[in-house]
Amino acid sequence: MVVDNNIIEKIKALRKEKNAVIFAHYYQTSDIQAIADFIGDSLALSQKAAETTADIIVLAGVKFMAETVKILSPEKKVIIPDLMAGCSLADSCKKEDFEEFINDNPGRTVITYVNTTADIKALSDIACTSSNAKQIVESLHQDEKIIFGPDRNLGNYIKELTKRDILVWDGACHVHEQFSLDAILRMKKENPGSKIIAHPECEKPVRLVADYIGSTSGMLSFVSKDPGKVFIVVTEPGILYEMRKAEPEKIFIPVPPKYSMCGYNECNFMKLITLEKIYKSLKFEEPEVTVDASIIEWAAVPIKRMLEISAKLGL
Ligand code: 13P
């Protein structure tokens, strides 16, 4: 990737002048991860947002992540470099439909993945991320009945692990459902001794062949601890930048989408964010992410509950 040093210098100067920080998700391109003040999975981004002292937070990621930051830091200016950076998973759970689902199934604790709009968070009891979903479910009493949304793959995976009474919303991530099992099996055959590591948003057949299933940060710590040398990485390929930086001697192979023998299965929303857009958004302090104050009041409750449980468990 050709990196424009001039724009990097301009971003650094503006960031200092405006007391701004750049938070980036692991799925961002390597040039963005290289200049970010903080890189993390969705749990770490929300934990960091709760404690930052910056006046402006530029969120290099997708909109639900920026909304989560705004909900936790309503007094701060939160900017996303491209407002079109949405999320297919968040879009698969509309407020009216989810409200009906909750009303049709009364008496259940509503746990939602952070990959949701602020409206859905406002309807939830506890939020979770893929790093802590199992522990959040297990923090509830054994007999508590649960609604889990919006990801059907993560939800069903957690249901299998915990054996709890969980009703799972039928949503999905368009990237994680596009990984080719054929390609994964072919790569495994071509690389004897390699390990398959998959995000829990992947479909069950992929999860079944995986040696490790976990969040982006979980995958990162797995590849550092595991003695293996070659890893077939079944999540958005932006994560490869951090893996290669942390473990330069190891080999990380991205998996193509279905119906393709090669190539990267990228999230088109994550990849809408560019250095140029980060520069412009810092300069003009827009597009700003806003969440209605009445929604913030309700949406903050499940996120704070998640952060409290995570802190208690040392996650
Ligand atoms: P992580 O919680 O692992 O960062 O995953 C976020 C995400 O959006 C996956 O699609």
HEC profile of 162-186: HCCCEEECCECCCCHHHECHHHHHH
Helices (H), 191-291: 204-209, 216-225, 239-246, 275-284
> Are 110 and 124 a contacting pair, CB within 8 Å?
yes
Distance 198 CA to ligand 1 centre (A): 12
Enclosing domain of residue 30: 5-86+270-290
Question: Residue 288: which H helix or E strand, with range?
Answer: none
80 vs 57: CA distance, rounded Å: 9
pLDDT band per the 50, 70, 90 thresholds, residue 197: very high
Ligand 1, atom nearest to 41 Cα: 4
Ligand 1, atom nearest to 40 Cα: 4
* pLDDT surpassing 90 at residue 279: yes
44 vs 177: CA distance, rounded Å: 24
Distance 217 CA to ligand 1 centre (A): 9
231 vs 238: CA distance, rounded Å: 15
Say whether both 169 and 239 belong to one domain. no
Question: Strand, helix or coil at 161?
Answer: helix
Task: Examine residue 261 and state whether it is found in any structural domain, yes or no.
Answer: no
* pLDDT surpassing 80 at residue 262: no
Instruction: State mean pLDDT over 103-118.
Output: 97
Say whether both 140 and 161 belong to one domain. yes
Contacts of 132 (CB under 8 A, 6+ apart): 43, 306, 309, 310, 313, 315
> What pLDDT, on the 0 to 100 scale, is given for residue 301?
97
**Token digits for 288?**
């700003």
Say whether both 200 and 149 belong to one domain. no
- Dihedral of the alpha carbons of 188, 189, 194, 200, in degrees to the nearest 10: 20
Edge-first strand order for the sheet with 230-234 is 212-213, 195-198, 230-234, 251-254
Task: Examine residue 212 and state whether it is found in any structural domain, yes or no.
Answer: yes
Distance 6 CA to ligand 1 centre (A): 31
Task: Examine residue 259 and state whether it is found in any structural domain, yes or no.
Answer: no
Specify the residue with its C-alpha closest to ligand 1, atom 9: 201
156 vs 56: CA distance, rounded Å: 38
Ligand 1, atom nearest to 65 Cα: 8
Q: How far is CA 246 from CA 39, 249, 252, in A?
A: 13, 9, 11
Say whether both 134 and 159 belong to one domain. yes
The percentage of residues in the chain with a pLDDT greater than 90, rounded to a whole number, is 92
Ligand 1, atom nearest to 219 Cα: 3
Give the CA angle between residues 59, 94, 238 to the nearest 5°: 35
* pLDDT surpassing 70 at residue 234: yes
Say whether both 99 and 62 belong to one domain. no
What domain count does the chain have? 3
Distance 215 CA to ligand 1 centre (A): 6
Task: Examine residue 105 and state whether it is found in any structural domain, yes or no.
Answer: yes
Which of the residue ranges 38-52, 67-81, 116-130, 177-191 would you say has the lowest mean pLDDT?
A: 38-52
Residues contacting ligand 1 via CB (< 6 Å): 41-42, 115, 129-131, 173, 201, 215-216
> What pLDDT, on the 0 to 100 scale, is given for residue 259?
77
Using one digit for the tens of pLDDT, what is the confidence trace for 86-99? 999 999 999 999 99
Using one digit for the tens of pLDDT, what is the confidence trace for 149-173? 999 999 999 999 999 999 999 999 9
Distance 53 CA to ligand 1 centre (A): 25
> What pLDDT, on the 0 to 100 scale, is given for residue 260?
79
Question: Strand, helix or coil at 95?
Answer: helix
* pLDDT surpassing 70 at residue 1: no
Q: Taking all residues of the chain, what is their mean pLDDT, rounded to a whole number?
A: 95
Instruction: State mean pLDDT over 57-82.
Output: 96
Specify the residue with its C-alpha closest to ligand 1, atom 2: 42
- Ligand 1 pocket test: which of 158, 199, 306 has the largest number of ligand atoms within 8 Å of its C-beta? 199
- Dihedral of the alpha carbons of 262, 176, 173, 62, in degrees to the nearest 10: -80
Omega before 150 cis (within 30°)? Answer: yes
Instruction: State mean pLDDT over 17-27.
Output: 97
Say whether both 135 and 281 belong to one domain. no
Say whether both 35 and 47 belong to one domain. yes
**Token digits for 49?**
């947002």
Distance 265 CA to ligand 1 centre (A): 15
pLDDT band per the 50, 70, 90 thresholds, residue 47: confident
- Ligand 1 pocket test: which of 42, 158, 176, 271 has the largest number of ligand atoms within 8 Å of its C-beta? 42
Say whether both 79 and 94 belong to one domain. no
Ligand 1, atom nearest to 115 Cα: 8
* pLDDT surpassing 90 at residue 263: no
> Are 156 and 168 a contacting pair, CB within 8 Å?
yes
CATH at 153: 3.40.50.10800
* pLDDT surpassing 70 at residue 3: no
Task: Examine residue 28 and state whether it is found in any structural domain, yes or no.
Answer: yes
71 vs 297: CA distance, rounded Å: 8
* pLDDT surpassing 90 at residue 253: yes
